[in-house]
Structure 1
């Protein structure tokens, strides 16, 4: 699992750098300042949880179902939370309808909930570790 976590964190970290640079340089003239703030928030939370994934990889010496759960919670949290914010910040460029936004909007807090569950399961893993 350690290798899978590191590879996942590496790919998501690389994508965070790419999306951050794209937001700062490519999107600056195309979206509004509030939309750019939303983009920036997505990048920040992606980076925070990439670091959380890297920390999880330090638990790789033992098989622990709570570490596996944290891995999935953080990974899917990034996809749902940051992914939905990326889409919503580019809604005008992508031509997303208000119906699409109504679907994408509720995905963000689900991703946030997954982040919370990831941190909670990480705490449980630390408590269980001897």
Structure 2
């Protein structure tokens, strides 16, 4: 569990760093459309960092459930936000990794779905 919290804190710190980097250093380099895409990646990363903090401090989830949810959300952040960062900050084109971003989004959706299922199981006990 503490491993999950350490990774979560790192992802939160990284979101702040990348958000500041995007707000200042990238304004001169990227188009406004590219900046919006970059900001979306930062925003979704931070949203899911907050969800991960909740998951890993909520006593109602078992350790196994916390780990499953954490890994799904970690992968979702890496695939979704990470692919957008790669497209905007490197020479990697969206066409070459077009399938990565939607996989990340799907993982984030799956994480929310699993969390809903875990809550539903608690209600029906």
State the TM-score, normalizing by the size of structure 1. 0.85
- 1:121 counterpart residue number: 114
How many residue pairs were aligned?
Answer: 123
Higher relative contact order (CA 8 A, sep 6+): 1
**Cα gap change, 1:95 to 1:101, in 2 (>3 Å):** same
The 2-side partners of 1:14 and 1:26 are apart by 17
Q: CA RMSD in A?
A: 1.8
The 1-side partners of 2:94 and 2:36 are apart by 17
The 2-side partners of 1:87 and 1:15 are apart by 14
- Cα-to-partner distance string for 1:64-120 (whole Å, 9 max, x where unaligned): 533322111110100000001111223xxx333xxx532322100000000001111
The 2-side partners of 1:65 and 1:127 are apart by 17
Residue 59 of structure 1 and its aligned partner are, at CA, apart by: 3.0
Unaligned runs of 5+ in 1: none
- 1:6 counterpart residue number: 5
The 1-side partners of 2:13 and 2:100 are apart by 23
1:103 alignment partner, SS class = coil
Q: How does 1:21-32 map to 2 (within 5 A)?
A: 21-32=20-31
- 2:91 counterpart residue number: 95
State the TM-score, normalizing by the size of structure 2. 0.88
- Cα-to-partner distance string for 1:24-62 (whole Å, 9 max, x where unaligned): 011110111100000000000000000010010123576
Maintained 8 Å contact 2:55/2:61: no
